[in-house]
Amino acid sequence: MPDLKHHIDTNKLPKHIAIIMDGNGRWAKSRNRPRVFGHANGVKAVRQVTEACAELGVSYLTLYAFSKENWNRPSREVNALMSLLVKTLSKEIKTLSDNDIRLQAIGDICQLPQETHEALKDGIEQTKHHRRMTLILALNYSSRAEILNAQKKIAIDIAEGKLNILDLTESVFSKYLDTADYPDPELMIRTSGEQRISNYLLWQMAYTELYFTDQFWPDFSKENLYEAIIDYQMRERRFGKTSEQITAL
């Protein structure tokens, strides 16, 4: 694949990229290896994509690392994933710090195994002052659960007189979500050929550009990322307006 980086218009970068890192298991299966082998090799892609986004000037990168539905997988795979997360966080925090990258998380992280939860909290604490880019891990995450929890918080605030129901707008609702401190993603990338969003950032991706690739996640490289961003930059984002209205702006 040719070097695509110089074809990217840095003035039209997506501020926030979200990724569904799919295909680790199938990548491993194609090599007659256990699924956990694919997850371990997917770490390299995480590192490459994170570094590439920071180098380009992307402000936010959200990675779908573990969904609530993933607990339904074989316990051996789940335990291996949690162990891998602890090892990866311990190993990569220095890299994040060296590159001025802040680590954050969304999802029901309190329900993660204690060792995993502690490693995540430690990484967040160590990188909290970094400003070059924010890396957000979606862990034990479900968008439907997130929206439902937001509704519960809103109901409580209305009952306690902290919020007038007539003041409830889309903007106010967004402040009750896990992503309250982050802009909505402008580009979502899913690897492995699957073309669905799997309960991921449903509210936030109302106008996100979707990009699907057949590449399995362990094989996803910086060049693949550049290709996705170039594809994004070739699209016309209208947000309900006509092409003529966008051109006139």
CB contact at 8 A, 190 and 212: yes
Q: How many residues does the chain have?
A: 249
22 given a catalytic annotation: yes
Catalytic residue among 3, 70, 178, 184: 70
Distances (CA, A) of 2 to 58, 93, 151, 214, 243: 22, 31, 48, 18, 32
Query: How many CB atoms lie under 10 A from the CB of residue 160?
Result: 8
Terminal-to-terminal C-alpha distance of the chain: 36
Tell me, rounded to whole angstroms, the distance of Cα 184 from its chain centroid.
11
Catalytic residue among 22, 24, 41, 178: 22
Rounded distance, CA 200 to CA 105, Å?
14
167 given a catalytic annotation: no
Q: Which residues are catalytic?
A: 22, 70
